[in-house]
Chain A
């Protein structure tokens, strides 16, 4: 089965090794006999609802974020329609911020967000940098951990009732106070975790892949297990880092 990924602004938002996340999705799809086709969706390109099974938005520096913010606003309807239609979405760091309602940057300028996630972000004066570990329950009763690295000046505040991606076990998370990290709306997930996120969190890579496949197939897929020894070893080291030195930048 072919899975079509729309990679938003790969030429602008690529600061935290976002191609690592894409590589993991591509290989893990291929090992199950699926093909991941990645299409660039950059400045001026439309998001056609139904075209993509997964939208991916990476992180950028303030300068790059400002360069794409206006263009993203023009794509807002397309992105919302895609997600409403069941496409999966993963947004990391800068991409996560831009998908909220607004982002006030370091210089005090307001960048419009597209309001896909019910949240707002304000740049703080101290960056929150370090290893981070989350506890997630994406399916009722199944609790798993996500390990990554965060580096953001933005303090992200979720609206009341918004669903976070996880609870912070170690590290800062959305704002360093609430104890929550990321935001989830159905098959759309935004998070500050890079590292990149997916190589050392194979269960989550498969969760994202399953959302994308479900959009393509119209039903939840069966994903056969893979030999994830290296991945789990990397996860354990990263989780250990968060426990010993996360949240103390």
Chain B
């Protein structure tokens, strides 16, 4: 039997409780109570019930999360990023799950309560693999005491919820400083804020893209960290790949991308179907083909591969896992709906939406799209971000737009003032009616492009699931 990614012996967790922790209830009783609550929540159809047990456990005894995590014999790995954390974690799970039993919050419940719920549900798990909300990372890291942390990117996202980018970055920096001394750090060197953390921890594994042939001609409008994290001068980019991710250097003080431990080279974008690249690591190189599109997924794969490598996975296991991977739910999905197909790509912030637009247009610009803008807390109550998205390449090919969701009219304005004829825009706030209108306008055997924000995506999936076309995600996750 192959070894199971052991960590150094002094790190092996025991069942003993951390000193000084007061135990108000026996942990077993708390677990039983919280698990029952999760089942009740699902029975009551209050959604997936994915965070209910954890919320309850956390209320009863916040320290229980720490103790549950400490029971995992192989420890835990955390993944955080503005964009791609669900996909990265799913890729890493594909690689690591072949050999060890994982506690993995694959439904995307990524606050402390979601991690707690996953720990409760995952009986017999050996390794924790958690995607973590950017703002929650410091607390989750303090409780879980991870053996590895993978940081993917920081983009402007839901400023009404997360606050300024600098604030999140400062939280990450202090979280990194507080990690256990032998915890491994995996960093995206192409993001200036994150690449700079390599100086906090010698030996950090740094990944990045190194293929100027797929670089963008210029920084996108929504590029964020474009000024030197050290001295404030504008960076010069030898290559910009996704948003502000790229090969940057400050002409004033010399701060630049750190040397890459793991790199993607010879990238071949293959429309909506796939992207291939050469994965270069210190252990050797492999040609990798992902069955999901886009340069942003190359970043996700690099993050997953670098993390898995740090945890002890072999290059063969990494290549095989990435080859097996299919998209994380709702991020990129083709759903057969009767004799038509729905192609659904999640949009949630400028950098992510730009990549969705680029991917769709590269796959052949559609003449019709349904775009859904909600403004619930999970979407961001402030919808101004849609004006920072470069929708124009998509807009240029559209004959018709169905704008939907709670802020459908605002979305319609984005396209009207982007240059689209207002007569070609239909405002249909009801998601179900908009989906039906889109399908009606789609020829038989055709494909309808749907770009929803997070809660709109959940609602649209529920609608098609209600018609028997997809399973609810919490069943799929089982």
Q: Which residues of A contact B (CB under 8 A)?
A: 11-12, 14-17, 19-20, 23-24, 27, 61-64, 67, 127, 129-131, 149, 151, 194-196, 199-200, 227, 230-231, 233-234, 237-238, 241, 245
Whether B159 contacts A241 by the Cβ 8 Å rule is: no
**C-alpha gap A194/B66 in the complex (Å):** 41
- Which residue among B156, B386, B417, B425 has the maximum number of chain A CB atoms within 10 Å of its CB? B417
Whether B410 contacts A127 by the Cβ 8 Å rule is: no
Whether B412 is near chain A, meaning CB under 8 Å from some CB there, is yes
**C-alpha gap A64/B160 in the complex (Å):** 18
The residue on A at minimum CB distance from B219 is: A11
Whether A237 contacts B409 by the Cβ 8 Å rule is: yes
> Chain A residues with Cβ under 8 A from B406's Cβ?
237
Whether B375 is near chain A, meaning CB under 8 Å from some CB there, is yes
**C-alpha gap A20/B384 in the complex (Å):** 8
**C-alpha gap A199/B415 in the complex (Å):** 11
* Smallest CB separation, B244 vs chain A (Å): 12
**Can you list 19 A-B pairs with a CB-CB distance of less than 8 A?**
A11-B226, A14-B221, A14-B388, A15-B156, A16-B159, A16-B384, A17-B384, A17-B385, A20-B417, A61-B164, A63-B164, A63-B166, A151-B382, A194-B382, A194-B384, A234-B413, A237-B407, A237-B409, A241-B375
Whether B59 is near chain A, meaning CB under 8 Å from some CB there, is no
Whether A61 contacts B413 by the Cβ 8 Å rule is: no
- Which residue among B164, B232, B407, B412 has the maximum number of chain A CB atoms within 10 Å of its CB? B164
Whether A19 contacts B221 by the Cβ 8 Å rule is: yes
Whether A237 contacts B417 by the Cβ 8 Å rule is: no
Whether A234 contacts B410 by the Cβ 8 Å rule is: yes
The residue on B at minimum CB distance from A235 is: B409
Contacting A at CB under 8 A, from B161-187, are 163-166
* Smallest CB separation, B14 vs chain A (Å): 41
> Chain B residues with Cβ under 8 A from A231's Cβ?
413
**C-alpha gap A131/B427 in the complex (Å):** 22
The residue on A at minimum CB distance from B406 is: A237
Whether B388 contacts A234 by the Cβ 8 Å rule is: no
Whether B422 is near chain A, meaning CB under 8 Å from some CB there, is yes
Whether B5 is near chain A, meaning CB under 8 Å from some CB there, is no
Whether A129 contacts B160 by the Cβ 8 Å rule is: yes
> Chain A residues with Cβ under 8 A from B416's Cβ?
27, 230
Contacting A at CB under 8 A, from B50-107, are none
> Chain A residues with Cβ under 8 A from B418's Cβ?
23
Known: A149-B384, A196-B384. A15 touches B407 (CB 8 A): no
Whether B422 contacts A23 by the Cβ 8 Å rule is: no
* Smallest CB separation, A241 vs chain B (Å): 7
* Smallest CB separation, A247 vs chain B (Å): 13
> Chain A residues with Cβ under 8 A from B382's Cβ?
16, 129, 149, 151, 194-195
> Chain A residues with Cβ under 8 A from B156's Cβ?
15
> Chain B residues with Cβ under 8 A from A12's Cβ?
227
Assign chain B's interface to a size class: 35 or more
> Chain A residues with Cβ under 8 A from B419's Cβ?
27
CB contact between B159 and one of A14, A15, A233 (< 8 Å): that residue? A15
Known: A62-B166, A151-B159. A11 touches B234 (CB 8 A): yes
* Smallest CB separation, A191 vs chain B (Å): 14
Known: A227-B422, A234-B410, A241-B375. A196 touches B387 (CB 8 A): yes
- Which residue among B160, B234, B410, B425 has the maximum number of chain A CB atoms within 10 Å of its CB? B410
The residue on A at minimum CB distance from B234 is: A11
The residue on A at minimum CB distance from B403 is: A230
**C-alpha gap A110/B387 in the complex (Å):** 31
Other than A131-B381, A230-B422, give 4 A-B pairs with Cβ distance below 8 A: A64-B227, A195-B382, A237-B407, A245-B381
* Smallest CB separation, B354 vs chain A (Å): 14
Contacting A at CB under 8 A, from B226-254, are 226-227, 232, 234
> Chain A residues with Cβ under 8 A from B375's Cβ?
241
Whether B383 is near chain A, meaning CB under 8 Å from some CB there, is yes
* Smallest CB separation, B160 vs chain A (Å): 5
* Smallest CB separation, A23 vs chain B (Å): 5
The residue on B at minimum CB distance from A234 is: B409
CB contact between B386 and one of A15, A17, A27 (< 8 Å): that residue? A17
> Chain A residues with Cβ under 8 A from B385's Cβ?
17
Whether B226 contacts A238 by the Cβ 8 Å rule is: no
> Chain B residues with Cβ under 8 A from A245's Cβ?
381
> Chain A residues with Cβ under 8 A from B413's Cβ?
199-200, 230-231, 234
**C-alpha gap A129/B164 in the complex (Å):** 12
Whether B387 contacts A19 by the Cβ 8 Å rule is: yes
Whether B414 is near chain A, meaning CB under 8 Å from some CB there, is yes
Whether A199 contacts B417 by the Cβ 8 Å rule is: yes
CB contact between A238 and one of B160, B410, B414 (< 8 Å): that residue? B410
The residue on A at minimum CB distance from B233 is: A67
